Amino acid sequence: MIRIFLILMITVFSPLSAQNWQRVETKHFDIYFEGKWEIPSFSMEMERIYNLMNLNLSYFAPWMSKEKTSIYIYSRYDTYIKGEFKPPEWSKGLALFEKKTIVVYNSDKQDSLIPTITHELTHLYFESYFRQKSKKPPLWLNEGLAVYMEDLSSKSNEGEWYRALKYSPKKVYMKFDVFFDTELNSLKDDKDIANWYLEAYGIVKYLYSPSRKIIFYRFCSDILKGKKLEKALWNNYRINNLKSFEKKWFYWLDSEIINHDGKNDSFEFKPFKTIEFTTH
């Protein structure tokens, strides 16, 4: 089946300032490039990401098929930081729920823009489900799902996060009773922060397999209703406590994910220095 995408390019003014933006319109996105530049084939790539989002997150954001999302892409970091959206200096991306908008900047790393956009779109769509009751999802669930979707956006057989899960030693992970009680901002060491994200990703990957989409949605619905984590786990996965959850997760990790063939033993997960995404 051949899909025909409507692409419209015009020079517009940002609704927030008199700054010139190059606008590219697709079926599901209004994309704004700062200045007079654009990324070749970016519209087609974004519709690929939309299909990925729609397949995996439409339960949480049914509006995504009816309402367009705006994406502002600054040409570089300094104009992003000084721009009208006022993002934190440490951030790579920003999600604005009331405006159905995400804001990012183009970096020297050509492969980082699509994962960053995917990460922010996941926050936008997933958190909108919780915002309907003026709530926020647990941070581990929110970030774990965003990283999970970020990894799915990769065109390679194994995304960076999956490779990290596959080759990292089990000793890097916290016990579950500690992990679920840990405040991310209490972690100061770069590796501890990176491993927290990795564990959150791994837990979501376990809970959200292709065959468990509806179960995962019901689990999140229980969390939205205010049910405790252990109650939501029992209702939907028949896991009765965190100790049992930890045991099942490590068994899954060891039997289905972790590399045991002796190759890539020198693999090292490169941590990042800060939390790089934010939402408003």
Task: Provide the CATH number for the domain around residue 84.
Answer: 3.40.30.160
Q: Are residues 164 and 236 in the same domain?
A: yes
Pair 116, 160 in one domain: no
- Do 123 and 153 lie in one domain? The reply is no
Q: Which residues of 34-52 are buried (b: 16+ CB within 10 A; e: fewer)?
A: beeeebeebbebbbebbeb
Of 112, 131, 150, which one is at a domain's C-terminal end? Answer: 131
Please give the pLDDT value at position 151. 93
What per-residue confidence (pLDDT) applies to 268? 56
Q: Which of 105, 131, 157 delimits the end of a domain?
A: 131
Domain boundary among 93, 110, 131: 131
In a domain, 31, yes or no: yes
Return the bridge partners of 95, or none.
102, 279
Range of the domain at 71: 8-131
Q: Counting Cβ atoms within 10 Å, is residue 257 exposed (0-12), middle (13-18) or buried (19+)?
A: middle
Task: Note the pLDDT of residue 108.
Answer: 65
All residue ranges of the chain with pLDDT < 50 are 1-15, 18, 265-266, 271-279
Q: Count structural domains, the chain.
A: 2
